[in-house]
Chains A and B, each alone.
Chain A
């Protein structure tokens, strides 16, 4: 029963994608929307059914053997345990709400069928990724989501910049995928299998803790995760990926695809536990991305870019949790983040559409009366993002992460997380104030058209808002059965005190933000306008110059190499016979001067030579 439900949950979006993909323009916008949203909706129902019939133990089901070459026999199989059910619920549930909102958002756009086809294909790939029982099938889903991300970022392909952004996303994540593929090779060579369960069983037997191969394998898998999850240094694609439609940003680049890296590391927890140094690296990268992105978010002018850096920062929290061994906390934060980030993106989408595609912060303002639903969404989501104490789901998950970090003894990581929390408060307040308060700074902001459709506009926002509150935290099943124990296992002694501390930090951050952006606005603007403040602002705006760095060290040399290789010297060698033939031709053509006398002279000359030769050699006896 449960297996059937699980299979339906990913086969339905696949069917939707195939129908839409092969419809060849015969389906109108309404029909495409119906199929696209309907398939994901049915998939959500199937997931709910699977949840209800879940027995509590993990179950596996093999569809067929994919490849059979000697010892290499990966199957097309699914495994359902609590972790995959949580992920499935997020993907189909939040996915369905986003699809519903997309009907309102994308009204009037060209190529709707293509949009829903890609979205359905994406849902299918992501479900394959989380349900796969072996790493090869997981890799299939991994690549599938990368492809769909490319297709959706470049959705407005008529503008060349969007195409380039899609390229950038694809290439940067591809770089990570190469590492992941190498990791898979290594795992197969060493452990003889790609089945996840077997890998986790065999790894401790074959590899000693901290051995070189274990470290290498974990490092390679981490490389793949970094690309997909947009962590330092493979993060440069995420802000540019905001060129796609906002529902795409909500689904792919906030709730699901970018969390695939977190899921991968969580799933392969046994592998990472064998490589403590790599775990430490995971934590460091998480902290680094967390801070880097938070600073960058402070200085962005585009709404969606602020949210993109915010996503990167929150995923940094998840990586931090993974790094200290708190896998459960990481997945918890993944779930709450999916709720409130999707809510934020959808609300941003509401603002953007209402203001005629205006995305620049410096041109918005004063919208809180005219766009009440979007305002409410931003408040709910933003509160969860800054982890407002006790009422929001974000508080519980972020607090759990920070608590585990401290319990594990990594005080540096803990401090980074705490600083990040303060900064989160800063940029979120800046964002909300910039959009909704103050005076409207452009015509678009003065005359917005709010969304009114209750089903497509209000309902998704309302449901996500409810989930962003503590209700969302309640919904989370503990995943202790799936994961090895986190650093803080038994003692909860200092936890309540700790929660006060965290609360204090968050409130301090909010107060600071309020003071800076409300009371001392002009002073702040003056500080940023010149001198050190201006330079810092530019540094943050450009996200610490990673783009420029990669451009100089990787892109330009590559292009120079391509230019050099255009000159094909082997081709020159192959042209040599042709050149020689042409030279000989030019020479021989000179002898054809059209004069009869010349020809006669040459013939006589030839005859003479032969004759003289005969005379010499045969001595006249002829």
Chain B
């Protein structure tokens, strides 16, 4: 179990690094899918099979497909290789430093904790989760439903096709 956890964790981290440093959109999507599947494996290793299944079905299976569809629809090409901006330290130093500091702070925060729990891989079945969801935590279901409704309306309105607006463009640096 531990081996599965650590290996999958490593894969997830590496895939994410590949995601944020890639230049081709399709490659990036693939990297993300790999990362998500690796995290699902981590869930399985921890003893949360329902979460893992849900991760693959919904996250990697639906949301990522959305991304693929959009990349396909907009016909995105890979960005120009090695654009000069990427190389300049003034560009990536600040954000990287910030993220690093945040990382260090959080790790320090976690390491100092005295919870001392260990995960021993006991399975939490779908049945347990179902009983919780339709019992005391019913509100989660309701909230999720409303959230999805809102997203549905918004996405269908914002994503509508506009007739090409020629000279009425208010766009950037044309």
A residues with a Cβ closer than 8 A to B are: 601, 604-605, 607-608, 611-612, 614-615, 619-622
Contacts and interface: CB of A to CB of B under 8 A. Distances in A.
B113 interface: yes
A616 B106 CA distance: 12
Nearest to A621: B112
Contacts of B112: 619-621
Residue among A604, A605, A614, A620 with max Cβ neighbours from chain B (10 Å): A620
A371 B112 CA distance: 124
Interface residues of B, number: 14
A608 B108 contact: no
25 contacts: A601-B94, A601-B95, A601-B98, A604-B95, A604-B99, A604-B102, A605-B98, A607-B102, A608-B98, A608-B102, A608-B105, A611-B102, A611-B105, A611-B106, A611-B109, A614-B109, A615-B105, A615-B108, A615-B109, A619-B112, A620-B111, A620-B113, A621-B112, A621-B113, A621-B114
A607 B106 CA distance: 11
B126 interface: no
Contact of B101 (A601, A612, A620): A612
A619 B108 CA distance: 9
Main secondary structure of the interface of B (DSSP, over half): helix
Interface string B88-121: 0000001100110110011011011110000000
Contacts of A601: 94-95, 98
B98 to A, nearest CB: 5
A90 to B, nearest CB: 88
Contacts of B109: 611, 614-615, 620, 622
Contacts of B99: 604
A612 B105 contact: yes
Contacts of B113: 620-621
Nearest to B112: A620
A620 B113 CA distance: 6
Contacts of A622: 109
- Top 10 A-B residue pairs of the complex, sorted by shortest distance between their CB atoms: A620-B112, A608-B102, A611-B105, A612-B105, A620-B109, A604-B98, A615-B105, A608-B101, A615-B109, A615-B108
A611 B98 CA distance: 12
A605 B113 CA distance: 24
Contacts of B105: 608, 611-612, 615
A604 B105 CA distance: 13
A615 B95 CA distance: 21
A614 B98 CA distance: 16
Contacts of A620: 108-109, 111-113
A620 B102 CA distance: 14
A601 B108 CA distance: 22
Contacts of A614: 109
Contacts of B95: 601, 604
A607 B99 CA distance: 11
